[in-house]
């Protein structure tokens, strides 16, 4: 698939009586591209992400997914072709791993056997042995395992677009690094369009084809990793400075 | 232990009153569940309805039970002398714990689970039946448990308006200043309350998601 998958045109999101959470955003995401939304807490990253799958609708402007405005999509249909991963996976505690992973295929009405095959395939894809993990409940998994199940669930229905909100945020640094690099390899092969929210510059640099830096609800910078490192924008410099401190 | 002798001497009547009592409790609690859970869901969905629903149920609970029975008698269709009026009063009493438990149980669901359900493309009905109600089930059941235990106690007052039940012995005992008769009504009622509490408690443990989680590990 080629062409523009997600497009923001002059998008603002304002709730009455509050300062805008996204202001005048123009951003166009190509099919197969990984765009990282980087920014501090409260900069509007998560709001931007929620505008893509119509959990929020823009106050001004238009968000287009696959060429169609989110206001014109049936929200349930839009979400069923959009994978979604959040911190700790947001797994259903009362569903076992297999049923969690099967969620979107089940909603889409796939045949039972096809779902079962797909669940095993997805678990293997994220590095979990289906025989050991399929019947466990989320509370019986480690943080890293839950995260892997979250990724498997998001990819299970083979959606062209995947949204990820700080998916690896709750993991310890070594696990985080492992899962991140596996994930990078995985999505390169799958050719998905990915919008990935993080406040971690390293994560942004290692995953993003392009990085959209948000500062107080506005787009402060948009470009590749190298351009970000050399950017003169004050917020970009503030993020780049964090690298020196934590590296040694 | 004179009341045991009394009960065994009058066992046909005692069994009938006990069954009447259990009937009052079962019917009223079942109806209260059918009404209370939807109201609890509504209260957790609409902040504008929340105040009215919880406030209304609270208000009902503050009316002294004997007064509530009395107040219902003159109301057409609902009232009158007999079991129907008692059942209506018991339903009104059972609503608060059930509505509140539903409201609390739904409110306690992890927001990330709700968000995931929404973002995965579940529609409102699927979210309610597959995610929200199953996760709130344990708390809702604890509300039903409280409501049932309260109903067993309050149902004794039903005898005052001719609804039958174990309250018949209690009122007769009070009128005749006969402790044996009072105990003949009170002890079986207390046993029924304890039985309901333990029974529903066992159900709650049996079906809680926690237990399923621990099972495998």
Residue of A54, A91, A93 to mutate when probing chain B, most B C-beta within 10 A: A93
Residue of chain A whose Cα is closest to the Cα of B208: A94
pLDDT for the residue B188? 94
Whether residue B1 has pLDDT greater than 70: no
- Among B119, B209, B217, whose Cβ lies nearest the Cβ of A84? B119
Q: How far is CA A144 from the centre of its chain?
A: 17
Helix extents (H) in chain A: 45-52, 75-80, 97-101, 103-107, 112-125, 130-133, 143-155, 173-190, 201-207, 225-230, 234-247
- Cβ neighbours for B129, distance < 8 A, ≥ 6 positions apart: none
Banded pLDDT at B205 (limits 50, 70, 90)? confident
Nearest residue to B69 via CA among B85, B53, B58: B85
Share of chain A above pLDDT 90, in %: 64
- Residue B70 tokens, joined: 């009395």
Nearest residue to A171 via CA among A146, A201, A205, A207: A146
Q: Of A58-62, A185-189, B86-90, B152-156, which range is least confident?
A: A185-189
d(C-alpha A100, C-alpha A33), whole Å: 27
pLDDT for the residue A89? 72
Burial of A14 (0-12, 13-18, 19+ CB in 10 A): middle
Domains of chain B: 2-209 (1.10.3720.10)
Chain pair A-B, CB pairs under 8 angstroms: 68
Nearest residue to A236 via CA among A217, A208, A213: A213
Across chain A, mean pLDDT equals 90
Q: What is the pTM of this model?
A: 0.83
Residue A83's H or E segment, with its range, is strand A82-86
Share of chain A above pLDDT 70, in %: 97
B193 reaches A (C-beta below 8 A): no
Q: List strands edge to edge, sheet with A22-30.
A: A22-30, A4-13, A60-65, A68-69
Q: Which residues of chain B neighbour A87 with C-beta distances below 8 Å?
A: 112
Q: Is A187 within 8 Å of A208 (Cβ atoms)?
A: no
d(C-alpha A112, C-alpha A138), whole Å: 22
- Inter-chain touch A93–B113, beta carbons under 8 Å: yes
Angle, helices A143-155 vs A112-125, to 10°: value is: 130
pLDDT for the residue A230? 87
Quick: pLDDT tens for B43-67.
Answer: 999 888 999 999 998 888 888 888 8
Whether residue B121 has pLDDT greater than 70: yes
d(C-alpha B19, C-alpha B25), whole Å: 10
Q: What are the two backbone dihedrals, phi and then psi, of residue B12, each rounded to the nearest 5 degrees? A: -60, -50
Banded pLDDT at B215 (limits 50, 70, 90)? very low
Quick: pLDDT tens for B147-192.
Answer: 999 999 999 999 988 888 999 999 999 999 999 999 999 999 999 9
What does the pLDDT average to over A48-54? 95
pLDDT for the residue A247? 43
Q: Which of residues 113-152 of B touch A (CB under 8 A)?
A: 113, 115-123, 126, 131, 134-135
pLDDT for the residue A248? 36
d(C-alpha A160, C-alpha A242), whole Å: 33
d(C-alpha B80, C-alpha B197), whole Å: 31
- CA R_g for chain A: 18
What does the pLDDT average to over A190-194? 89
Q: Is A104 within 8 Å of B121 (Cβ atoms)?
A: yes
Q: Which residues of chain B neighbour A94 with C-beta distances below 8 Å?
A: 134-135, 209, 212
- Inter-chain touch A79–B212, beta carbons under 8 Å: no
pLDDT for the residue A209? 93
What does the pLDDT average to over A151-161? 93
Quote the minimal CA–CA distance from A138 to chain B in Å. 8
Q: Is A194 within 8 Å of A35 (Cβ atoms)?
A: yes
- Inter-chain touch B120–A91, beta carbons under 8 Å: no
Q: Of A44-58, A73-87, A91-105, B66-80, which range is least confident?
A: B66-80
B212 reaches A (C-beta below 8 A): yes
- Angle B164-B169-B173 from CA coordinates, rounded to 5°: 140
Looking at this predicted complex, what is its ipTM?
0.85
Whether residue B213 has pLDDT greater than 60: no
What does the pLDDT average to over B4-15? 90
Quick: pLDDT tens for A54-85.
Answer: 999 999 999 999 999 999 999 999 999 999 99
d(C-alpha A218, C-alpha A212), whole Å: 10
Are β-strands A4-13 and A68-69 bridged in parallel, bridged antiparallel, or unpaired?
unpaired
Residue of chain B whose Cα is closest to the Cα of A163: B119
Share of chain B above pLDDT 90, in %: 65
Q: List strands edge to edge, sheet with A34-39.
A: A82-86, A161-165, A193-198, A34-39, A210-215, A218-223
């Amino acid at each position: 698939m080629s062409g523009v998958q997600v497009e923001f045109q002059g998008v603002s999101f304002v709730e009455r009586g509050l300062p805008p959470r996204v202001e005048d955003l123009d951003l166009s995401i190509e099919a197969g591209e990984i765009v990282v939304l980087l920014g501090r807490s409260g900069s509007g990253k998560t709001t931007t992400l929620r505008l893509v799958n119509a959990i929020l609708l823009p106050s001004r402007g238009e968000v287009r997914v696959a060429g169609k405005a989110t206001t014109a999509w049936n929200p349930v249909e839009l979400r069923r072709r959009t994978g979604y991963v959040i911190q700790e996976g947001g797994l259903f505690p009362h569903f076992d791993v297999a049923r969690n992973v099967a969620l979107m295929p089940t909603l889409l009405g796939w045949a039972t056997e096809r779902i079962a095959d797909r669940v095993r395939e997805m678990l293997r894809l994220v590095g979990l042995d289906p025989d050991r993990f399929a019947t466990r409940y989320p509370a019986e998994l480690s943080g890293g395992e839950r995260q892997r199940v979250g990724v498997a669930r998001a990819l299970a229905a083979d959606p062209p677009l995947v949204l990820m909100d700080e998916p690896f945020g709750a993991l310890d640094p070594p696990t985080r690094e492992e899962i991140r690099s596996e994930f990078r390899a995985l999505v390169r092969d799958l050719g998905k369009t990915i919008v990935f929210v993080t406040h971690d510059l390293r994560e942004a640099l290692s995953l993003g084809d392009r990085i959209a830096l948000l500062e107080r609800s506005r787009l402060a910078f948009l470009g590749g990793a190298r351009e970000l490192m050399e950017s003169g924008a004050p917020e970009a410099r503030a993020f780049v400075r964090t690298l020196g401190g934590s590296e040694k | 232990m004179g009341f045991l002798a009394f009960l065994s001497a009058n066992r046909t009547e005692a069994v009938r009153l006990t069954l009447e009592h259990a009937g009052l409790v079962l019917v009223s609690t079942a109806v209260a569940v059918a009404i209370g859970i939807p109201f609890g869901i509504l209260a957790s969905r609409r902040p504008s309805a929340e105040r009215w629903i919880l406030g209304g149920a609270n208000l009902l609970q503050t009316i002294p039970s004997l007064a509530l029975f009395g107040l219902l008698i003159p109301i057409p269709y609902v009232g009158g002398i007999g079991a129907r009026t008692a059942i209506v009063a018991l339903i009104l009493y059972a609503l608060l714990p059930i509505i509140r438990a539903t409201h609390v149980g739904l409110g306690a669901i992890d927001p990330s689970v709700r968000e995931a359900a929404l973002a995965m493309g579940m529609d409102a009905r699927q979210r309610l039946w597959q995610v929200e109600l199953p996760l709130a089930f344990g708390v809702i059941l604890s509300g039903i448990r409280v409501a049932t235990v309260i109903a067993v106690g309050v149902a004794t007052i039903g005898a005052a308006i001719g609804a039958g039940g174990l309250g018949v012995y209690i009122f007769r005992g009070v009128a005749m200043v006969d402790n044996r008769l009072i105990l003949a009504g009170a002890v079986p009622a207390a046993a029924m309350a304890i039985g309901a509490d333990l029974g529903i408690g066992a159900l709650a443990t049996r079906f809680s998601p926690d237990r399923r989680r621990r099972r495998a590990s």
